[in-house]
Amino acid sequence: MKTAIVVLNHNLPELTDQTCTDIISRTKSDYDLYVIENGSDPNNLSKYCTNYIDTNLWVSGGLNYGIRVAMEKEDYTAIWCLFNDVKFAPQGDVLSFMLSCMQKYPRIGIIQPSWGNEWLLNESPLSSRNYTDPAISLAYAADPLCMLFRTSMIKDISNKLGPLNRPLWDESNKRNHGNGQLIQYMAYRNGWGTLTTNVFTTSEINLPAEQNSLIARGEEDSTWKSQGTIEREAWIRKRWRDISFFYSPNLLGTTNFKAMIHHFKSYIKMWYHLSNSNTSEKYCWETILSLCQRECENFLLTYPEYAKLSLDEIYHPN
């Protein structure tokens, strides 16, 4: 199983070098490293630079560029997208562990180290697993900081995501706030699960936010966050308010007509609120998470064996 590792950089070569060095020292499985210089100044390139873009394509465009480059070069089993400020704990081969999960469970399309308990599937009558401290469990959301994608899943859902997803991230959402949930939602809808694990955790390196945000993004941190929130809300309204997007083939496949009617009413309500310009950003965000969780539960109806994922069944790193 060979993986393309795509790391995105914009004017922070020391940070990118640190991240890449850490990944290289950890990883024993077969991989190719792609470091995408996303509009960096020519004097601020990482020593690991493989591809240079003279224009900043922002986060979504830069990641899409890296994925396209990798897929054009080789038929990789998986593509691992990372920001340049990611850090992992503890020591160990993060990629090999995630690949072992992917190999063990063929309907898992996305894997990520743990990023907080808010990303875990809530208790559901569809699952008897105790999620209080899971080593491995299905999740209905994840952070784009560090996501491993099965290449066959990318090929399967790419055309279903829309013309702005070339091939994965929606480039109209350039800052990437909430963008990962659209991918996960469509993945679940087409029978691809998302896995999170507490064997490894991931977070962002703590650096002076204002200083490094201005260098890395071209915007001060406050601007990045405030404009990102506005952009996310507008993007959710525009992208998600089409009622056909809420249609659930997995739910219909269960022939549970009572549940179908219940969810249809919910979809109508969501469409109404997302189409209303006065709807709050909080409601928009909660709607995304609610829909992703619903599709996750629909996935468990189709593949009930995934409701009891157990660390004991797969490879455990030393």
277 within some domain: yes
63 within some domain: yes
pLDDT for the residue numbered 137: 79
Geometric angle at alpha carbon 173, from 221 and 109, rounded to 5°? 110
Residue 122 corresponds to which amino acid?
A: N
296 within some domain: yes
Structural domain count, the chain: 1
Q: For position 247, which CATH number holds?
A: 3.90.550.10
318 within some domain: no
Query: How many helices, marked H, and strands, marked E, lie in the chain?
Result: 10, 9
269 within some domain: yes
Q: Which of 159, 148, 145, 163 is nearest to 95 (CA)?
A: 148
284 within some domain: yes
Tell me the residue range of the domain where 288 lies: 3-313
| pTM (predicted TM-score) | 0.87
120 within some domain: yes
66 beta partners: none
**pLDDT truncated to tens, each residue of the chain (318 aa)?**
899 999 999 888 998 999 999 999 999 999 999 999 999 989 889 999 999 999 999 889 999 999 999 999 999 999 999 998 888 988 999 999 999 999 989 999 999 988 755 555 555 544 444 444 456 778 887 788 899 999 999 999 988 887 777 899 988 887 877 888 889 988 998 899 999 887 888 887 765 444 555 565 666 677 777 777 788 888 888 877 776 666 665 555 555 566 667 777 777 888 888 888 888 888 888 888 888 888 888 888 888 888 777 554 444 444
CB 86 within 8 A of CB 202: yes
304 within some domain: yes
